[in-house]
Amino acid sequence: MRAARCPGMCPERERCERQGQARLHRLEVATGAAVKEWRRPAAGSEAAAPDQLRPPDVLLRTVRHLVARVVPRAEPRAGVGAEPGDEVGAWAGVGAEPGDEVGAWVKAAAEPGAGVLPEPWPLVHDFVMDRLRSVRQDMVSQRLGGRPAATILEHSLRFLLCGQLWLGRPPPSPRPRHSQPGSVEAQVRECFSRLLAAYSQGRDVYENQAEFQALALLYDLDSDQALHHALQLPSHIKDSPEMRTALGINRALTEGNYVRCLRAVRSLPFVESCAVYRHIASLQHRLLRAFSHGYSCCNCRYPLQALAEILAVDTGDTAADLCRRHGQQVNGDSVCFQKSSYVEPDPDIQPAPELLELVTIKQRGRTRSSIIQGCKMPSINR
């Protein structure tokens, strides 16, 4: 493990540089604490100096700050400005000239009781995603493992899995191609890889291991490699409720029982639903393909309301729209399945907005911050 001696959430040199260039992010000013940016390592550059690397306790403090102080800024009734003891308190306004915009922001944010309107989630999301990526960069640079690394990766994964759906831009359906470096999918895969590796090393007991092993399996649903990894887990993990549910969904998919698969997906808690969301459209395509073959008959009518329940959508109108997109004829409150008219939808088409609502309703008023911190939520039986 390499030495890391940076005492603050942002190295002094970077903080001075960005303050002098007026590049402090507005969320850093509002919360009263600068946080180290993620920077792409330059080719052939030397390893980061110890005074540029944050030790484990500072990395964990940074994660807590991002989740507990920054994420709530996008919630209604976001918290007020800086609190006593914030790191910026020692330097807020140092070097600020009269009329300096950054200095004015810091002063306004630090006033006790200053009301703050909720920030737009895209602004908060992009800031937190960048700063968490920087935390993981420091973690990897000093070869940090064990519980501190697991905690960082667990918080990062909950944020990455849920953040896209809170943006209203759900992840595209999985495709047999490599994700772009730096994309959300690439970061999720990197976090899962490092987290599962951390779980397998040493003798530490991780209370969230079953949850994240199940999330990894749901995220890579229908993957032989992910299923093989799950089946090699110790029995106390494999027999946990979370893993039994994830393995059951995978088994139903393998057997072609898409009705049971979608029914189980519909009852998943919020974070698990976020992990499996990108597969829902594919499951619906497979079910409609099976129905178009199994119920193909000119005189056969299938009730749309019953189909909506099976497809895990809320209304018959949504089910009717899905059927039309697959070339099936809808008449009133029923559909006539025809194998010859089945159309495979474009894989690049984004899932219907109704599917996003099906997941977000499971949040049930819980704050984003509490979800990222691991607030447990019950399954949904609808």
Query: What's the pLDDT score for residue 75?
Result: 86
Sort 354 into a burial class: Cβ within 10 Å, 0-12 / 13-18 / 19+.
middle
* Local confidence band at 85 (pLDDT 50, 70, 90 cut-offs): very low
Helix (H, G, I), strand (E, B) or coil at 331: strand
Q: Which residue has the higher pLDDT, 227 or 202?
A: 227
Q: Rounded mean pLDDT of 225-233?
A: 94
Whether the predicted pLDDT of 195 surpasses 90: yes
Query: At residue 15, does pLDDT exceed 50?
Result: yes
- Contacts for 239-243: CB closer than 8 Å, 24+ residues apart: 240/210, 240/214, 241/210, 242/210, 242/211, 242/213, 242/214, 242/272, 243/210, 243/213, 243/214, 243/217
Number of neighbouring beta carbons within 10 Å of residue 198 = 23
Poorest-pLDDT segment among 101-105, 187-191, 249-253, 331-335: 101-105
Q: Per-residue pLDDT averaged across 260-278, rounded?
A: 93
pLDDT for res 97: 35
Is the pLDDT reported for residue 91 higher than 90? no
Which residue is associated with the tokens 């890889």?
Answer: 193
293 Ramachandran zone, left/alpha/beta (phi>0; psi -120 to 50): alpha
pLDDT at 21 exceeding the cut of 90: yes
- What is the average per-residue pLDDT within 268-297? 92
pLDDT 10s digits, 285-332: 999 999 999 998 888 899 999 999 898 888 888 899 999 989 999 998
**The pLDDT of residue 170:** 66
Mean pLDDT value across the chain: 83
Give residue 77's pLDDT.
57
pTM over 0.95: no
Segments making up each domain of the chain, as ranges: 1-121
The predicted pLDDT at position 372 comes to 96
Q: How far is CA 54 from CA 25, 64, 161, in A?
A: 20, 14, 25
Taking residues 170-191, what's their average pLDDT?
76
For range 130-150, the mean pLDDT: 94
What tens digit of pLDDT does each residue of 142-168 get?
999 999 999 999 999 999 999 988 988
The pLDDT of residue 179 is 62
Question: Stretch 101-130: mean pLDDT, rounded?
Answer: 65
Residue 351 pLDDT grade (very low, low, confident, very high; cuts 50, 70, 90): low
- How sure is the predictor about 175, in pLDDT bands with cuts at 50, 70 and 90? low
